Amino acid sequence: MKRTLLTILQYLIFLGLGIWIVYHMIHELKPQEETDLLKAIKSINAWYLIPIAIVGFLSHFFRAVRWRYLLETAGMKPSLTNTTLAVLIGYITNLALPRAGEVAKCTVLAKYEKMPAHKMIGTIVAERAFDIFCLIVIAVAAFLLQITTISGYVSGEMHLLGESIRRHQTILLIVLGFLVALVVATIMVYRRHRETKAGRIIKELAHGVLSIFHMKKRWKFIGYTILIWLMYLSQIYIGLLSLPDTHHLGPLAALVILVYGSVGMIITPGGIGMYTLMVAQILAVYNIADIPAEAFGWIAWAVQTSIIIVLGIISFILIHPLNSKTSGNNAQVAVDTK
């Protein structure tokens, strides 16, 4: 009960932060700036939305394919159709409640593929851990490739971060100590209660994380990971091409925007407010004026969110009829063979 209340409180705090950012960004605009912002948004070449939508779908489809490789390591072989629909349902659920999407896609896939949901948890953890690692690698690569452009901005931000760390050193040490204690406690619980439900869950989590290193198709897994991030990058780059004020920016600028936007998506639910703010700030480094930069941030966030909503709703509508039809066909085949 306490854990549920803590989760709800955490969600409300970060949702409130996102809403406050949205209010602050809009409230700070002068009447002429509001007019200019709407004009900048309307200046988008709508034809570019088609390839953006296609690339957006492909990023989710490749994620479903990649997830199947992890599920295979746990002895599960779901259909690609159900896996894709489950992933899309997970994404739209995450918009309403972060991290609930992971539970949703496991529950959906378990229901229609008749597989144990608890065995999927470890694969979810493995995916998330690997994605965080990829984001760190991409962030380092983006900084090195664009060091002359963004070094001044990053150094300024790091200075502010350093000041904050010095002011909150005691709090940071407490948090670090808590994390260490949590790891130690988890190990102790597992050693003492290996055969209990908690022990089995911990074992499944560990198996999922280590599965990437032992899976037979690890190179395919890595290949699809690269494809996923290439699709994310392509979405940003095509988006830059769609606006007159940003069409001159190249793939490397899109790479930097991808990193900052990804961080924004992590901080607030669905990236509300924070995604636009961080993208607009980094675009300023590329000498994009405030209003066009903010316009691109709003457009990029709205398009990505709309793709998730549309695909998620379609998945909710299709998954039951498709599986009912499959079950009916299987039953008919069984009757015919008798």
- Going by the DSSP 8-state scheme, the letter that residue 48 receives in this structure is G
pLDDT value at position 144? 79
CA-nearest of 70, 59, 54 to 227 is: 59
Which pLDDT score is estimated for 96?
A: 77
Q: Which of 329, 327, 335, 316 is nearest to 101 (CA)?
A: 316
C-alpha pair distances (Å), 62 with each of 56, 99, 143, 150, 162: 10, 20, 26, 31, 39
For the record, the structure tokens of 236 come out as 């940003």
Answer for the pair 54, 48: CB distance below 8 angstroms, yes or no. Answer: no
Residues contacting residue 286 through CB under 8 Å, at least 6 positions apart: 149, 249, 253
What pLDDT score does 191 carry? 63
**Per-residue pLDDT tens digits for 280-307:** 888 988 889 889 999 999 999 999 999 9
For 11, the enclosing helix (H) or strand (E) is: helix 2-27
Compare 173 and 23 and report the one with higher pLDDT.
23
Better-predicted residue by pLDDT, 210 or 231: 231
* More confident position, 193 or 276: 276
Widest CA span of the chain, in angstroms? 76
Given a cut of 80, whether residue 42 has pLDDT beyond it is yes
* pLDDT given for residue 91 in this prediction: 92
Mean pLDDT of the chain: 79
CA angle 126, 3, 262 (to 5 degrees): 45
C-beta contacts of 165-172 below 8 A and 24+ residues apart = none
Q: Can you read off the two tokens belonging to residue 303?
A: 């398009």
193, 199 in Cβ contact below 8 A? yes
As a whole number, mean pLDDT of residues 182-190 equals 61
Query: How many Cβ atoms are within 10 Å of 215's Cβ, its own excluded?
Result: 17
What average pLDDT does the segment 116-128 reach? 80
Q: How confident is the model at residue 176 (pLDDT cuts 50, 70, 90)?
A: low
Q: 194 pLDDT exceeds 70?
A: no
Mean pLDDT of the 150-159 span: 56
Q: How far apart are CA 256 and CA 145, in angstroms?
A: 9
Question: Rounded mean pLDDT of 212-233?
Answer: 86
Angstrom distance (rounded) from CA 288 to CA 200:
53
C-alpha 139: how far from its chain's center?
Answer: 15
What are the pLDDT digits (tens) for 305-330? 999 999 999 999 998 888 887 655 55
* Token pair for 147: 């060091």
CA dist 47 and 188 (Å) reads 57
pLDDT at 337: 44
pLDDT at res. 271: 83
What letter does residue 154 receive in the DSSP assignment?
H
pLDDT at 64 over 90: yes
For the ranges 34-43, 59-68, 72-81, 114-123, which has the lowest average pLDDT?
114-123
Please check the confidence at residue 56 and state whether its pLDDT lies above 70: yes
Confidence of residue 18 (pLDDT cuts 50, 70, 90): confident
Inform me whether the pLDDT recorded for 76 exceeds 80.
yes
